[in-house]
Structure formats: structure tokens, C-alpha cells
Chains A and B, each alone.
Chain A
Amino acid sequence: AQSVTQLDSQVPVFEEAPVELRCNYSSSVSVYLFWYVQYPNQGLQLLLKYLSGSTLVKGINGFEAEFNKSQTSFHLRKPSVHISDTAEYFCVHNTDKLIFGTGTRLQVFP
């Protein structure tokens, strides 16, 4: 089955520290992977996407992710987080419809 697995349900981190949110995907013929963010009481917003080409993709708000075919991973990273990055982050596999991971709650503390 085509799916994504988010390995951490919660990630607490202090402001200005680096963060990595982990995601593994099951192999598929076509791999379109996204990260969406859901801020408290707001709608889902696309952070970044991998369709093809360069395995390092940059998104909004200083986030980036690296597509690793051999490890079937698509981890999300940010070198220095802000309080405003506190949100729920979803790793998503696009197969026409979107298949969401269970989410990782990033909590940034001052």
C-alpha cells in the first residue's frame, strides 16, 4: 500500500535550535511527496514539494527537505526554529488524492 509514516508524534524544541521531522514513505512507481503545515485554528498550507529533479527542496519559512530514495525518506529540516513555527506538520504522498501521515506536532519553547 502507498503510505507515509511519520516517526515522531511530538517534537519539543527550544527557539533557535535546529529541528528535523522524520518521514518515511512506501515505495511507489511515482513519488510525489509534500509537507503540509497546519497552524492552530488555520487551514492546511503547503510547505514544500518534491516531484522530481534535485533531491533537496526548499520551501517557505526557511524549511527544506531531502528526498532519499535509498532510505525511502523525506525528512523536513529547519536550521533555526521560531516560536511561530509551532504547528502540526504532515508528510503527504500525492497519488491524485493526498495520503497524509499521522502528523508531527512541533512545539517551540522560548
Chain B
Amino acid sequence: DTGVSQNPRHKITKRGQNVTFRCDPISEHNRLYWYRQTLGQGPEFLTYFQNEAQLEKSRLLSDRFSAERPKGSFSTLEIQRTEQGDSAMYLCASSPPPGTGSYEQYFGPGTRLTVT
């Protein structure tokens, strides 16, 4: 078990460019979550998947954001036409299937996005 991994760890981009982040969850976890954390704040929920189905999206997830999990394994988060306000740490987490009694979400190290 190598834990949740995220790539890249850091991304610097110019305003208006598109960026894509990848998350690889723990292999036996069927739930995958994306959060965003800005400086001095707690992480905020963006969206989550159960297998390949996207079950919930936050109002924070504007039309410029899209997330996919095509085969129920890794997930990608794309931000189109980035804005300076998108600068944040993007966190991915995964959790075991419901009913296992765990309820814990395991977090990756995050991708730090800086929009200049």
C-alpha cells in the first residue's frame, strides 16, 4: 500500500492557461474526493466519486473545473482558463467502500497551484 499519490506536486501557470492534476488513490478504495485548501484555511470539498460515478459537486466547482474518474481508479481534475484566485493546494483523498465502518479518508500530499 503506497498511499494516495498526486502529480504534479507543484504547478506554476500563467493566467488563462489550462492545467490538469492527477490523483491515484489507494487501490482497494472505491471512493475518491477532491478538496481545495487556500492559505490559512481548512480544506473545502470540491467533488467526489464512487467508482467512476461522480456523486456530488460543490458550488465551489465552477464551470471551468471538471473532474473525471473514467475507469474507477485514478482521477483527474482540470481547470480551464485559470485565474489567480485558483491558486491553492488541491488535495485528493480516498476511502474504503461504505459499510466497512472506517469512514476515514486518506489524503495525498497535494498539488500546489500558483497562477501568475
Interface residues of A (CB under 8 A from B): 32, 34, 42-46, 49, 51, 90, 94, 96-103
Complex interface: chain A residues within 8 A of B35 (CB) = 98
Chain A interface helix/strand/loop/mixed = strand
B-side interface residues, number (CB < 8 Å): 20
Interface residues of B (CB under 8 A from A): 33, 35, 40-45, 48, 56, 91, 93, 101, 103-105, 107-110
User: Which has the most chain B C-beta neighbours within 10 Å: A45, A90, A98, A103?
Assistant: A98
A-B contact pairs, 10 of them (CB 8 A): A34-B103, A42-B109, A44-B107, A45-B107, A49-B103, A51-B103, A90-B42, A94-B105, A98-B33, A101-B42
Residue ID in chain B nearest A94 by CB atoms? B103
Whether B45 contacts A99 by the Cβ 8 Å rule is yes
